[in-house]
């Protein structure tokens, strides 16, 4: 979800995954750059050339029922154990994001986006070191406002006393590792055995 830079109209839009910098001159380098710009760190987004302009001017919200993460912590889970993370109350997540528009040499318009992440806290720490920045509804209006360009205020919007509040996580099967598997069965919980240890 984003807000027009020319008015107060909000819209739901699709975007290519991975932010494309405006300086790319051809399709090949633009597309290749996307794999390195899927996530933007909240700690440095305001100073990184790839992200800083979009952070100030074109922010968005990326809705999701939940998201997948692969645990890699030694002594906790087997390597690459997938988890599904969502809200306990079933309400959709609203991930802070940024977007941009890139025009190819042939004139094709490509909208692209990236999710903003922060250091993981609470029960998410054993699963992964990072988590999305999740924005409550009372911060949506200011976040989406393209006239809001004060970096310190924007940084403040991404800070919370309990950034993992209301979240739940459970282990899921390896079905999620295959793109062809596209059903709700992917998110069904499974029982884990005893945590693996190093010895």
- The CATH number that applies at residue 43 is 3.90.1680.10
167 within domain boundaries: yes
Percent of the chain with pLDDT over 90: 70
| Within-domain flag for 146 | yes
* pLDDT at res. 75: 52
Q: Is residue 25 in some structural domain?
A: yes
In which region does residue 110 sit, left (phi positive, over 0), alpha (psi from -120 to 50) or beta (all else)? beta
Residue/partner pairs of 8-11 with CB below 8 Å, 24 or more apart: 10/144
For residue range 69-115, what is the model confidence (pLDDT) as tens digits?
A: 998 764 566 668 899 999 999 999 999 999 999 999 999 999 999 99
Is 193 within a domain? no
Q: Is the pLDDT of residue 54 over 80?
A: yes
Q: Considering the domain boundaries, does residue 144 fall inside one?
A: yes
Measure the CA–CA gap between 169 and 175, rounded to whole angstroms: 17
pLDDT score of 76? 64
Residues 6 or more apart whose CB falls under 8 angstroms from that of 161 comprise: none
Is residue 133 within a helix (H) or strand (E), and if so which, with residue range?
Answer: none
What digits encode the pLDDT tens for the residues 26-39? 999 999 999 999 99
Q: Is beta strand 39-41 parallel, antiparallel or unpaired with respect to 81-87?
A: unpaired
Residue 3, SS3 per DSSP: strand
Predicted TM-score of the model (pTM): 0.89
Distances, alpha carbon 144 to alpha carbons 50, 96, 97, 100, in Å? 19, 10, 10, 14
Domain-located, residue 199: no
Residue 197 within a domain:
no
Q: What is the pLDDT of residue 6?
A: 64
More confident residue, 21 or 164: 21
Indicate whether 192 belongs to any domain.
Answer: no
* Stretch 127-134: mean pLDDT: 93
Q: Which pLDDT belongs to residue 109?
A: 94
Count how many domains the chain has.
1
Residue with tokens 């809200």: 87
Q: How many whole angstroms separate alpha carbon 199 and alpha carbon 48? A: 42
User: Which domain range does residue 149 map to?
Assistant: 2-187
State phi, psi for 187 to the nearest 5 degrees: -90, 0
The owner of tokens 């790839």 is: 50
List residues bridging with 66 in a β-sheet. Answer: 86
């Amino acid at each position: 979800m984003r807000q027009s830079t020319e008015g107060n109209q909000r819209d739901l839009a699709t975007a290519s995954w991975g932010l494309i910098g405006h300086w790319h001159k051809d399709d090949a380098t633009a597309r290749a750059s996307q794999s390195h710009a899927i996530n933007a760190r909240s700690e440095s987004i305001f100073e990184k050339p790839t992200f800083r302009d979009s952070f100030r001017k074109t922010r968005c919200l990326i809705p999701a029922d939940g998201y997948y993460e692969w645990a890699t912590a030694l002594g906790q889970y087997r390597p690459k154990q997938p988890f599904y993370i969502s809200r306990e109350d079933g309400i959709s997540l609203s991930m802070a994001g940024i977007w941009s528009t890139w025009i190819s040499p042939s004139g094709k318009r490509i909208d692209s986006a990236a999710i903003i992440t922060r250091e993981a806290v609470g029960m998410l720490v054993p699963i992964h070191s990072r988590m999305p920045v999740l924005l409550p509804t009372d911060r949506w209006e200011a976040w989406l406002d393209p006239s809001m360009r004060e970096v310190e205020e924007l940084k403040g919007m991404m800070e919370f006393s309990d950034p993992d509040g209301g979240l739940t996580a459970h282990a899921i099967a390896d079905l999620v590792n295959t793109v062809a598997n596209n059903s709700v069965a992917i998110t069904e919980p499974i029982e884990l055995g005893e945590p693996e240890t190093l010895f």
